[in-house]
Amino acid sequence: MEEASRTRASFSRRVLNGLLLCSGDMEHLDKYMKDKSFVLQLAVCGLRGVTRVILANNPLSGGLILAALYWASPWQGLLGTLGVLASTLTAVITGQDSVEVAGGHHGFNGMLVSLLMGVYSSAGDWYWWLLLPVFLGSATCVFLFSGLSSFLDRWDLPAAVFPFNIIIILYLLCTGPEHPYFPHHSVKPPGALESNATELIALQVIRGIPLGVGQIFACGDLGPSLLILGAVFLYSPLLAVHALLGSAVGTLTGLSTAVRHESLYSGLSGFNGALGCMAVGGFFIFSLWTHLFAIASAFFSAYADIALSNLMGTVGLPACSWAATLVATLMLLLTGSLAAYRIPIGQVRAPERNLQLRSQWEAGNTEERESADEHKGS
């Protein structure tokens, strides 16, 4: 009996260790991958790229997210896969920094562009001509990412999803609802008045909160959205909490400005809040103070998203994640008490790891100081 329980304990410890190895940034994988074939390396950096969208960096999370997308719609899953591969390969060909490429920095914008092209297309699934703009758009993201990084580098700011936001808007502007080759849905602004207003269903609104996390990948089904949330949880539980909290804040914001019910139910009013919240949660050391700023950032992102959606909706365009990207950039520029918690862009890891590294570093500092004091004393 005792032996059995001991075996079970050791087994569960091994499972936990395995899980811990699979969570976080999985830096140990990089050493292991060094002498592997190009295709395998490409797959891993593609999967890392998939998670970069949600500020994560973990190939297993990437696999889960991709599975969620294939689950929601095989066509969307295919588009996403092609997008991340096209832009990563373009980055390799145009000679981008190999560490950046391996970290998946050149994949996520291409992936988002492809997914959104698929979602907005009104030509239906499996419309193979769509692959042309998908390839071109994903490849162009690399140019924008590289150019914008040079520009924003002066302030140690990331190019983030600016390339995606620019390319998808340009694509939608080039084509149109009645375009002969690439027709797409026109977007209705969230502030548009509803002709037959119905009662708001509370349960649907609450359902919109996890959907808000899925909408980051343009996914509007509950199951896959929960799987995506699980993928974030695998990378970092703290980040998953921020995502849910941000989405809830976004929904609250939508309620306070009386947006269309459809916008609340689908999670579209939540995903900018989620991104804004995760950005502060991810780029700053976790503390009570940063947590309050993360909530403020979620509110600001969500309100700005409603404003931009109404503005861009006048010409039939979506606001994508412009709001969250701009607000996150602003938060990174902030001076004052938040700036003390900021992590330099190159050193960002999973929130838990950031916390650990900071406390180690602080402990190290204290020890050093103590030993210095001792030396003085002696």
Among the listed residues 33, 67, 226, 311, the single contact to a copy of itself using CB under 8 A: 311
State the Cα–Cα distance between residues 22 and 24, nearest whole angstrom: 7
CB of 336 or CB of 377, closer to a copy of itself: 336
Binding part of the chain for a copy of itself, among 19-27, 77-85, 172-180, 207-215 by CB under 8 A, reads 172-180
Q: Which residues contact 279 (CB under 8 A, 6 or more apart)?
A: 55, 297, 324, 327, 328, 331
CB of 57 or CB of 297, closer to a copy of itself: 297
Judged by CB under 8 A, the number of residues near a copy of itself is 54
Q: Which residues contact 338 (CB under 8 A, 6 or more apart)?
A: 284, 289, 290, 293, 331
- Could you tell me the CA-to-CA distances from 20 to 55, 120, 179, 227 in Å, in that order? 19, 38, 50, 19
* Residue 127 binds a copy of itself (CB under 8 A): no
Among the listed residues 226, 307, 355, 357, the single contact to a copy of itself using CB under 8 A: 307
Stretch 29-48 residues interacting with a copy of itself (CB under 8 A): none
What's the token pair of residue 175?
């084509």
- Total Cβ atoms within 10 A of residue 236: 30
Stretch 129-148 residues interacting with a copy of itself (CB under 8 A): 136, 140, 143-144, 146-148
What's the token pair of residue 362?
């602080």
* Residue 173 binds a copy of itself (CB under 8 A): yes
Among the listed residues 11, 32, 181, 361, the single contact to a copy of itself using CB under 8 A: 181
* Residue 165 binds a copy of itself (CB under 8 A): no
Among the listed residues 304, 324, 348, 350, the single contact to a copy of itself using CB under 8 A: 304
DSSP code string of 247-307: HHHHHHHHHHTT--HHHHHTTTTTHHHHHHHHHHHHHB---HHHHHHHHHHHHHHHHHHHH
Binding part of the chain for a copy of itself, among 244-252, 323-331, 360-368, 370-378 by CB under 8 A, reads 323-331
Burial environment of residue 175 by CB neighbours within 10 A (0 to 12, 13 to 18, 19 or more)? middle
CB of 22 or CB of 131, closer to a copy of itself: 131
**8-state DSSP, 36:** S
Q: Among candidates 120, 88, 85, 115, which has minimal Cα distance to 101? A: 88
Q: Nearest distance from residue 34's CB to a copy of itself, in Å?
A: 22
Among the listed residues 124, 336, 344, 377, the single contact to a copy of itself using CB under 8 A: 336
* Residue 122 binds a copy of itself (CB under 8 A): no
Residues of this chain that interact with a copy of itself (CB under 8 A) are: 91, 94-97, 136, 140, 143-144, 146-151, 154-155, 169-171, 173-176, 178-181, 191, 193, 256-258, 296, 299-300, 303-304, 306-308, 310-311, 314-315, 329-331, 333-338
